[in-house]
Chain A
Amino acid sequence: MKQGVNVAVKPQKQKDSFLVGLGRYLGNFKEQLVILVALAGLCMVLSVLSPNFLTKSNFLDIARVVSINGIMAAGMTLVILTGGIDLSVGSIFALAGVIAAALIPGSYSESPFVTTFKLPVPAAILVGLLVGVLIGYINGLVITRFRIEPFVVTLGMMSFARGLTYLYSGGYPINFKPMPPGFQWVGQGYVFGLPTPTIIFVFVIALCWWILRYTAFGRTIYAIGGNEEAARLSGMNTRRIKRLTYLFLGALAAFSGIVMASRVAAGSPVAGIGYELDVIAGVVIGGTSLAGGRGSIFGTVLGVFMLGVIENGLNLLGVSTYYQYIIKGMILIMATGIDGYYRKKRCY
């Protein structure tokens, strides 16, 4: 232990100089700076290797792809910061996408459950979101009430929700003829020259950043992940906070699934299979510790962009998808290794 090391004397009421403050602020992002540099390096290499990399259309493409995962990764950051995990995001993604699509005017499917009953677009989206909220709430309730490992509960939910999706859709995709323009805009439209999903992503990121930095709810998330016993002894309702994080992630996963349904113009029951890997990998690569209590939304943004750029680059270079899985897996393990290394260093 670092005993007897004296803290620098700091006179009362005197403000830190700007540079000291800035230095301290940047010091909080040491790990993220490493990723930022790696990301910049990767972009430089790719721009040399592929003439198509540095084009506007390619960047918009990356932004669009990253946004779908990024919306979920933002919510996943909150869950992981409490020391939890949610493996059911891919299934919530599919279920919400299928249900919302089935309720939107113009959709049709072979499934007997997909009826002619339709709702206005915003109402259909809302129903999809509520499905995500409900599943997230059940996740959180089972985890906190019965004290079952989040890994196990959400692994079970991953299968359960996927089963519901198949049952409801009969395994058939839900297609549109024609797709209402309002719904089309959600996944395929543009705002200020940026894809709508990207605008939604930016909004979600800003919201999560604000929650984590400035609300008592967000600070409690850090406290629970940092020392749950201390949080509880301070009188915090740690179970309620945890339930809320799963509920919030459920809503975001559902929203992401709805955006995806709009983007590909279909509610697919096989959508989002394996997405939990990409989402969790994005969060972990961004420097958020799986043990909880340490990490940031800023890091998660970098993490999902890192994965997005790697995938995009490998596609541009014509590398087979099979290799992409191998490379993504390796990067995830490496990022976790770096996390462990930093943690050991911090343990004095």
Chain B
Amino acid sequence: MKTDNILEMRGISKSFPGVKALQGINFTVRKGEVHCLAGANGAGKSTLMKILSGAYQADSGEIWIDGQKVHLRNPIDALKAGIGTIYQELSIVPKLTAAENIFLNNYPQKGLIVDWRKISQLSRDIFAGIGIKNIDVDRPVETLTIGHQQLVELVKVLVQKAKIVIMDEPSATLSAEEFNVLKGVINPHSAPLDIITNVFLGH
């Protein structure tokens, strides 16, 4: 049976020494939905997302993506299954340009040679596509604002053809203006994405 559910997590449990972080969690995402996990500190939001991104292993439970059961042993497995994660500690290489970071390990090539022109052009096009024009993709990422760095991460995840995007507290480091751009990107009516956001909740 074809299912609308792009993601199903069933009966996920996870314990750490001395604490039961998750107990029989069920979580379903349908295509085009945006979810927000909200809860107090220690509620288990991050643990659940880390299981989905392959950083932790669940003690029990199943994960189904697009109607297929998957085993996510590490972040690379998750990436291959179409789960892209934007980490809070940025996972970009500061010295390399924004464009190169986006195509890291995914370089368009002309024969043996990395096609720099295409990398720049594609990056600029993708940013334009999400409504960002004032980003210089040929500059080292470390010279960009934190907000732009996070957008680079987002675009990188899109290029990796993620079906599901996890953002851990995406607004924590953004300026108001950058946050608006981000809101536009994760708008379910305008973006061709299935996004789960784990939004920071003050308490």
Contact = CB atoms under 8 A, between A and B. Distances in A.
A112 interface: no
Contact of B114 (A214, A226, A229, A236): A214
B133 A222 contact: no
Interface stretch (B33-41, B138-146, B183-191, B194-202): B138-146
Interface stretch (A5-13, A142-150, A320-328): A5-13
Interface stretch (B2-10, B17-25, B87-95, B163-171): B87-95
Contact of B112 (A5, A215, A234): A215
B96 interface: yes
A230 B145 contact: no
Contact of B142 (A11, A214, A222, A346): A346
A2 interface: yes
A231 B93 contact: yes
B145 A222 contact: no
Interface residues of B, number: 39
A1 interface: yes
Interface stretch (B43-51, B56-64, B65-73, B99-107): B99-107
A215 B114 contact: yes
B143 to A, nearest CB: 8
B124 interface: yes
A293 B138 CA distance: 17
B76 A233 contact: yes
A7 B133 contact: no
B133 A9 contact: yes
Nearest to B124: A12
B31 to A, nearest CB: 25
B79 interface: yes
A11 B127 CA distance: 12
Provide the main secondary structure of the chain A interface.
loop
Interface string A224-244: 001101111111100000000
A3 interface: yes
Interface residues of A, number: 34
Given A219-B100, A233-B79, A234-B104, A7 B148 contact: yes
B136 A10 contact: yes
Given A1-B146, A7-B148, A293 B93 contact: yes
Interface of B: 75-76, 79-80, 87, 90-96, 100, 104-107, 109, 112-114, 124, 128, 133-136, 138-139, 142-148, 156, 160, 175
14 contacts: A2-B143, A3-B146, A3-B147, A7-B145, A9-B133, A214-B113, A216-B107, A219-B104, A226-B93, A227-B93, A230-B93, A234-B105, A234-B106, A235-B105
Interface of A: 1-13, 24, 214-216, 219-220, 222-223, 226-227, 229-236, 293-294, 346
Given A227-B92, A293-B93, 15 more contacts: A2-B143, A7-B136, A8-B134, A214-B113, A216-B109, A219-B107, A223-B104, A226-B96, A230-B104, A231-B104, A234-B104, A234-B156, A235-B105, A236-B104, A294-B95
